[in-house]
Amino acid sequence: MTLTKHIPNLITLGNLFCGTIATIYAVEGAFFQAGLFVVFGIFLDFFDGFIARILNVTGELGKQLDSLADMVTSGLVPGIIMFNLLTKNQNILDLSLSSVLVPFFGLVLTLGACYRLAKFNIDTRQLNSFIGLPTPAMSLFVISLPLIQQSSEIEFIQNLISNNYFLCGIALLLTYLMNAELPLFSLKFKEYSVKNNAVKYLFLLISLLLIFCLEYLSIPLIVLLYVLLSMIINYRKTRSLKI
């Protein structure tokens, strides 16, 4: 039992290890490699909780360790990537103070992720669902942007990601969504009946179709779909309560 209880924590440290490597790649502007290690880290983040529940070894240490690892993989890395994108879009001949400071605005994502993770640890309402956008979803959204920019042949999309007003708006929106009082459905399955999990199955099916058809572009669309479906569920619940 002594060895068993450390298995989930070792997996969590694997998440942190992936996040640390992703940070190095993000600083160097190697966006594909950074994104790859972020995805590995997020997979381990999901897997550590799954293993902890199977082994029945959940505890306060694991909870805190999980948030600290997430802060690197899903907090620090997307902030650095957004910083690099904003820097890349800058006019190198413009040396005004406002222009020099703009890239640092991308780090608002890191600050927002830190605040969300701290709230998550003390919020007893988020045991079976989320309130606010989870940091891994935000991270996946951000790491997809440079990959879309590099791979997309659609000029409109390339121009959007090359626009710092758009990127700053995305950073603000994601920071708000992470910390908003917005209930979001959980993708964890307590049982697998279609009747009780219709929304989850619908979301997963649409997500797979988007990935197959749109590749990298599907990632931000899937995150937005997740938020939109959650808002529809919340609206229907509110209406049913009023009736």
pLDDT per position as a tens digit, 53-98: 777 777 778 788 999 999 999 999 999 999 999 999 886 555 565 6
Provide the 10 A C-beta neighbour count for residue 159.
Answer: 11
Say yes or no to pLDDT of 23 above 90.
yes
Q: Which residue has the tokens 């121009």?
A: 159
222 lies in a domain? no
Give the tens place of pLDDT for each residue, 122-143.
877 766 678 999 999 999 999 9
pTM listed for this prediction: 0.91
117 lies in a domain? yes
- Burial class of residue 205 (count of CB atoms within 10 Å of its CB; 0-12, 13-18, 19+): exposed
Give me the pLDDT at residue 52, please. Answer: 73
Give the tens place of pLDDT for each residue, 149-184.
999 888 899 999 999 999 999 999 999 999 999 999
172 lies in a domain? yes
CATH number at 8 reads: 1.20.120.1760
Give me the pLDDT at residue 230, please. Answer: 93
233 lies in a domain? no
Residues facing residue 131 across a β-bridge: 183
Alpha-carbon distance 50 to 42, whole Å? 13
196 lies in a domain? no
93 lies in a domain? yes
C-alpha separations of 65 from 62, 188, 225 in Å: 5, 21, 30
Give the tens place of pLDDT for each residue, 179-209.
999 999 887 766 778 887 888 899 999 999 9
193 lies in a domain? no
Q: How many domains does the chain have?
A: 1
Say yes or no to pLDDT of 28 above 90.
yes
Q: What is the 3-state secondary structure (H, E, C) of 201-236?
A: HHHHHHHHHHHHHHHHHHHHHHHHHHHHHHHHHHHH
The C-alpha torsion from 150 through 205 and 232 to 170, rounded to 10°, is: -10
- Asked whether 12 and 57 are in contact (CB, 8 A), the reply is no
Alpha-carbon distance 188 to 128, whole Å? 8
31 lies in a domain? yes
Determine the structural domain holding residue 75 and report its residue range: 4-183
Percent of all residues in the chain with a pLDDT value above 90, rounded to a whole number: 64
Say yes or no to pLDDT of 102 above 60.
yes
